């Protein structure tokens, strides 16, 4: 089966685990390894690829600085270690990228930021702006405030949510195993690496094993879960051995790994979700000029809106109608209904004056809009 090349992708999320980044014996970062990875990512970045990193390691670094013992930590100790270690982790990544001419940005997220629509949109817009500015976001779960009930607990699934949020077309999980095997390789010397997974079946899920190291809170099971999230969001995913130097470069060279393929794209998957999964909470009526602009692929600006109905909040699904009442499409609205009423018909330059705060340029961004004529997206759902 033909496999894609890393050069084929426009936006790549790379997940780095604690056991790769941190030397457990010294309680310090493996800087030589990190700089090899940074070289790999900088090469892709120079070629025009957007790079995002989901990095573990804050607790592992912080527990060493604070002199905390090995093994499971109490919640308060874990949070304290994360607080201290996050400073070190951010500095390590910022310095590694800066040496290669890349600006790093730090984003700490919790479960709610990727699951609650309003906070999801805020995080998505921050990521999008950083990438437009050619920065490399470094993301981690905010372990200083998250508790067991409201946290991911592993960065595999978090990385998959970030990939979906950022509309990435590839997620790379760097692991301490080469990929998915048909049996646990530690227990079965005849276990065979599976190079390609076209679809995640029950048989594939049954192959998942347990966690591989003390520092890792994941395991193959969470990687399969991450693959389900990523591929349903339109991103391919790769599990690769991250232990050697230049691990992403080795994927590029064709070293053994496991590819999980998706038949979709990030934009198509997102629009299928909007078209078929969300109940509309209101109606936005637009003029003829705005209707023509949407048909040509533009976003919906407040100037083209003539009326709004319903009781919607920012991020809710709304129906878009023309002046004759015909449904043009559906999309995720960028304003609460009260603020939307204040800005309809207004030029975007005047929004801050009307609202008293800086508002969104778009009423509905084109990536959050599905036109009624695009029947293929709706019928495939």
Full DSSP string of 278-325: ----EEEEE-HHHHHHHHTTPPBPGGGEEEEEE---TT-EEEEE-TTS
Strands 104-109 and 136-141: parallel
Say if residue 175 carries a ligand binding annotation.
yes
Cα dihedral across residues 34, 35, 36, 41: positive or negative: positive
Tokens standing for residue 362: 């778009």
Residue 210 has pLDDT above 50, yes or no: no
List the domain boundaries for the chain: 6-264, 271-379
Which stretch of DSSP H or E encloses residue 268? helix 266-277
CATH of 6-264, one of 3.10.20.30, 3.60.130.10, 3.40.1160.10, 3.50.30.30: 3.40.1160.10
Say if residue 379 carries a ligand binding annotation.
no
Say if residue 143 carries a ligand binding annotation.
yes
Q: Please name the residue that has the structure tokens 């997220």.
A: 109
pTM of this prediction?
A: 0.82
| Residue-wise DSSP of 171-240 | EEEEESSSS-BSS-TTT-TT--B--EESS--HHHHHT-----SSS----HHHHHHHHHHHHHTT-EEEEE
Identify the weakest region by mean pLDDT among 28-37, 51-60, 97-106, 371-380. Answer: 371-380
**Angle between the 75-98 and 31-46 helix axes, to the nearest 10 degrees?**
50
Q: What is the mean pLDDT of the chain?
A: 87
More confident residue, 146 or 325: 325
- DSSP label at 68? P
Question: What fold does the segment set 271-379 form as a domain?
Answer: 2.30.130
**pLDDT exceeding 70 applies to what percent of the chain?**
91
Identify the weakest region by mean pLDDT among 5-9, 352-356, 366-370. Answer: 352-356
- DSSP label at 3? -
* Distance, CA of 136 to CA of 262 (rounded, Å): 25
* Distance, CA of 56 to CA of 156 (rounded, Å): 10
Q: Look at residue 105 and give its three-state secondary structure.
A: strand
Say if residue 56 carries a ligand binding annotation.
yes
* Distance, CA of 144 to CA of 58 (rounded, Å): 10
Q: Please name the residue that has the structure tokens 């591929």.
A: 231
Say if residue 316 carries a ligand binding annotation.
no
Q: Are 241 and 247 in contact (CB under 8 A)?
A: yes
Taking CA 126 as the corner, what is the angle to CA 120 and CA 131, rounded to the nearest 5 degrees? 125
More confident residue, 92 or 264: 92
Res 202: pLDDT: 85
Residue 212 has pLDDT above 80, yes or no: no
Task: For 112-150, write each residue's pLDDT tens digit.
Answer: 777 777 788 888 889 999 999 999 999 998 876 655 544
Q: Who's near 34: CB < 8 A, 6+ residues apart?
A: 21, 92, 96
Say if residue 142 carries a ligand binding annotation.
no
List strands edge to edge, sheet with 50-55.
Answer: 104-109, 136-141, 50-55, 11-16, 170-175, 236-241, 258-260, 196-197
Taking CA 327 as the corner, what is the angle to CA 323 and CA 331, rounded to the nearest 5 degrees? 110
């Amino acid at each position: 089966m033909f496999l894609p090349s890393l050069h084929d992708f426009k936006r790549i999320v790379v997940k780095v685990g604690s056991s790769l980044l941190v030397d457990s014996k010294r309680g310090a970062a493996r800087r030589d390894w990190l700089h090899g990875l940074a070289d790999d990512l900088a090469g892709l970045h120079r070629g025009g690829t957007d790079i995002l990193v989901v990095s573990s390691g804050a607790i592992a670094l912080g527990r060493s600085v604070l002199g905390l013992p090995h093994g499971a930590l109490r919640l308060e100790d874990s949070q304290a270690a994360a607080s201290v270690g996050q400073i070190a982790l951010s500095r390590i990544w910022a310095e590694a990228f800066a040496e290669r001419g890349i600006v790093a940005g730090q984003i700490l997220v919790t479960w709610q930021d990727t699951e609650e629509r309003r906070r999801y949109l805020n995080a998505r817009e921050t990521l999008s702006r950083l990438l437009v500015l050619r920065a490399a976001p470094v993301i981690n779960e905010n372990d200083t405030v998250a508790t067991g009930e409201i946290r991911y607990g592993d960065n595999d699934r978090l990385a998959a949510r970030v990939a979906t949020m950022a509309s990435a077309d590839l997620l790379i999980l760097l692991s301490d195993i080469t990929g998915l095997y048909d049996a646990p390789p530690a227990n079965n010397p005849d276990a065979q690496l599976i190079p390609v997974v076209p679809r995640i079946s029950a048989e594939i899920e049954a192959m998942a094993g347990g966690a591989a190291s003390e520092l890792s809170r994941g395991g193959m099971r969470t990687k399969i879960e991450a693959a389900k999230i990523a591929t349903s969001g339109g991103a391919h995913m790769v599990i690769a051995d991250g232990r050697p130097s230049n691990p992403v470069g080795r994927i590029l060279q064709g070293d053994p790994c496991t590819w999980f393929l998706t038949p979709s794209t990030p934009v198509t998957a997102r629009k299928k979700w909007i078209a078929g999964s969300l109940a509309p909470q209101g109606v936005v009526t637009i003029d003829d000029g705005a209707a023509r602009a949407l048909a040509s692929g533009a976003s919906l600006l407040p100037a083209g809106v003539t009326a709004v109905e319903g009781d919607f909040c920012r991020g809710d699904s709304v129906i878009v109608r023309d002046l004759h009442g015909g449904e043009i499409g559906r999309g995720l609205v960028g304003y609460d209904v009260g603020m939307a009423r204040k800005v309809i018909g207004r030029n975007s330059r005047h929004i801050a004056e009307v609202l008293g705060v800086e508002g969104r340029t778009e009423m509905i961004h084109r990536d959050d809009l599905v036109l009624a004529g695009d029947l293929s997206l709706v019928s495939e759902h």
